[in-house]
């Protein structure tokens, strides 16, 4: 679906307190069209959960752990978009972002605890999904939907061992090609 690789970087992780949020950053990145998520190396449980979901519901989607998420941002060869309530409104930069992702890899940075100034400084785009405080998961979902212009909602999944069949009522899950 993507022209170039789209990678989501969770900048920091506080074990215990951030477990669910970090896991959901990964699940949202996968479901809404990113190719890969990078978690800090203390987020092992979140990485395991997202890999397990990918094994069951399909990919391609990669999960990586890194001891150097800030260095990943600093040294990224491509476009860096940092999600922050202090940035430019996503609706004002979405066209430029689509052009950028057509040309080169995009790193989408979401914070947790306080984000250092060097990330704001390195970012090619500091992007706000409203200029109100809310959550990295909500911000990431709206951001990816704008970048992919809705195409991610209809993506297909490979190597799934289960497929959800949409139903007006109730739940139906089948094996592929069933
Ligand atoms: C709950 S906030 C905490 C921010 C942290 N206290 C700080 O000072 O940087 C965690 C992350 O959610 C994301 N976020 C929160 N509100 C946002 C908004 N309006 N637009 C884009 N991203 C947002 C940002 O990536 C932020 O780093």
Distance 177 CA to ligand 1 centre (A): 41
Any residues with Cβ below 6 Å from ligand 1, and which?
Answer: 83-85, 110-112, 114-115, 128-130, 132-136, 139
Compute the Cα dihedral for 116, 117, 122, 127 and give only its sign.
positive
- In the chain, pLDDT over 70 holds for what percent of residues? 98
Residue 158 is encoded by which pair of tokens? 């490979």
Probe target for ligand 1 pocket from 85, 97, 110, 140, with the most ligand atoms within 8 Å of CB:
85
Q: For the chain, count helices (H), then strands (E).
A: 6, 8
Distance 54 CA to ligand 1 centre (A): 26
Q: Left if phi > 0, otherwise alpha if psi is -120 to 50, otherwise beta: which for 130?
A: left
- Say yes or no to pLDDT of 94 above 80: yes
Report DSSP state, residue 124. Answer: S
The residue whose CA has the least distance to atom 9 of ligand 1 is 114
Probe target for ligand 1 pocket from 80, 83, 89, 140, with the most ligand atoms within 8 Å of CB:
83
The residue whose CA has the least distance to atom 26 of ligand 1 is 111
Report DSSP state, residue 67. Answer: S
Which pTM does this prediction carry? 0.96
Helix (H, G, I), strand (E, B) or coil at 162: coil
pLDDT of residue 175: 92
pLDDT tens across 66-85, in order?
Answer: 999 999 999 999 999 999 99
CATH of domain 6-174: 3.40.1280.10
Residue 63 is encoded by which pair of tokens? 């999960």
So what's the ipTM on this one? 0.92
Distances 62 to 20, 58, 93, 113 between C-alpha atoms, Å: 19, 11, 27, 24
């Amino acid at each position: 679906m993507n022209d170039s690789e789209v990678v989501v970087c969770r900048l920091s992780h506080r074990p215990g307190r951030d477990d669910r949020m970090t896991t959901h950053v990964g699940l949202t990145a996968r479901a809404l069209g990113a190719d890969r998520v990078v978690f800090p190396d203390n987020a092992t449980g979140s990485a395991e959960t997202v890999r397990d979901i990918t094994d069951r519901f399909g990919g391609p989607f990669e999960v990586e752990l890194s001891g150097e998420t800030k260095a990943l941002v600093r040294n990224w060869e491509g476009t860096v978009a940092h999600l922050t309530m202090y940035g430019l409104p996503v609706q004002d930069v979405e066209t430029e972002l689509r052009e950028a992702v057509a040309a080169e890899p995009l790193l989408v940075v979401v914070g947790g605890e306080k984000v250092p100034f060097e990330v704001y400084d390195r970012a090619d785009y500091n992007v706000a999904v409203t200029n109100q405080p809310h959550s990295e998961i909500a911000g990431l979902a709206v951001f990816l939907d704008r970048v992919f212009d809705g195409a991610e909602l209809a993506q297909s999944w490979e190597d799934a061992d289960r497929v959800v069949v949409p139903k007006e009522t109730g739940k139906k899950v089948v094996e592929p090609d069933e």
